[in-house]
């Protein structure tokens, strides 16, 4: 059987810099348990590059993935600040408020904000 969904890290983002991110919903085939995760990487030129990396990883674990949208993350580890903003041309804008709630679970001592600004 597939490993527990809780074993999947909620957040995997670069430790520093400004980069694209996507909000992804995992679920068991046929419904049931689901979980939203955040993935962001400076190596990704486009948002779909991130999804193309996450999707096969999650399929191997037995989950279906759906991209809920994207944007950008500005991660300043020195000042412990994260800003979530922007949108994905391909996937549309993620619900940044949801993204912030997920980030807060991991970066508990950070100031985390979001806006609808493009830059």
- If one counts the domains in the chain, the total is 1
**Could you list the active site residues?**
47
What is the CATH number for 45?
3.50.20.20
- Which structural domain, as residue segments, surrounds residue 104? 5-115
d(CA 95, CA 71): 9
H helix or E strand, kind and range, residue 56: helix 47-60
Whole-structure pTM value: 0.94
pLDDT along the chain (119 residues), means of 10: 76 98 94 92 96 95 95 98 97 98 98 91
Angstrom distance (rounded) from CA 109 to CA 89: 31
20 is in an annotated binding site: yes
CA 63, CA 68: separation in Å to the nearest integer? 15
Query: Which token pair is 8?
Result: 């999947």
């Amino acid at each position: 059987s597939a490993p527990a969904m809780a074993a999947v890290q909620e957040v995997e983002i670069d430790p520093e810099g400004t980069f694209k991110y996507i909000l992804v919903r995992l679920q068991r085939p046929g419904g049931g348990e689901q979980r939203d995760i955040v993935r962001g990487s400076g190596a990704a030129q486009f948002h779909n590059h991130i999804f193309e990396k996450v999707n096969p990883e999650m399929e191997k674990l037995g989950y279906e993935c759906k991209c809920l949208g994207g944007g950008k993350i500005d991660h300043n580890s020195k000042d412990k600040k994260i800003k979530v903003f922007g949108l994905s041309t391909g996937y549309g804008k993620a619900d940044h408020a949801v993204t912030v709630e997920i980030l807060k679970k991991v970066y508990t001592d950070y100031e985390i904000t979001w806006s609808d600004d493009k830059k």
